Structure 1
């Protein structure tokens, strides 16, 4: 029998909302079984109503207050991101940097000017 952590790690992450700290997976029978194990303060039906988005469900609230959340913070993870997720994040960051560089140039700045945010070099 797989541990709850192993079961969660087998789920495919569909969407991550970094602003809301949400990790969405498709709602299915396996996810419902995991939620029955994790959710303590409300019914699984209430959880699904509160934390679903279309046919997706956010796992983060279910693991808050469990040992799994601590494991996640320590880098052991209860989900592992796909390479596609990281590539998408890099592409979005690169596009943002290009946008800022073009804005600096349009305002008369030098194309090799360094972009700084809160004393940290961005590019």
Structure 2
């Protein structure tokens, strides 16, 4: 900073140069303080960005875990009634003539009930998807 003042000094009187240097000495601590604050702000901003990135990564991991758990639950909730429907329908198709009328009626009721459960699961999934939007 002294060099800048000296280089920009165009006067011929040495006293003018000395006065300029003294002014520079007076403001130099202020400039140093401001530079320190600027550097501290830069470092703090960098640290905040690193924390945000770290927090975002953690949040993404948690979301992925929740998504996996949700998919496992949804898969189970869908497969369970579907397996019942498939099992009863396959049995009816394979042994239609050997199953008593009352038992066939029970199978059809079970298929109907499983279909209703499956419809309920699908309805809840659609409601959840609408909540996200």
Greater radius of gyration (CA): 2
* TM-score normalized with structure 2 length: 0.25
Q: Which has the bigger relative contact order, CA under 8 A and spacing at least 6?
A: 1
* TM-score normalized with structure 1 length: 0.27
> Which structure shows the higher helix fraction?
2
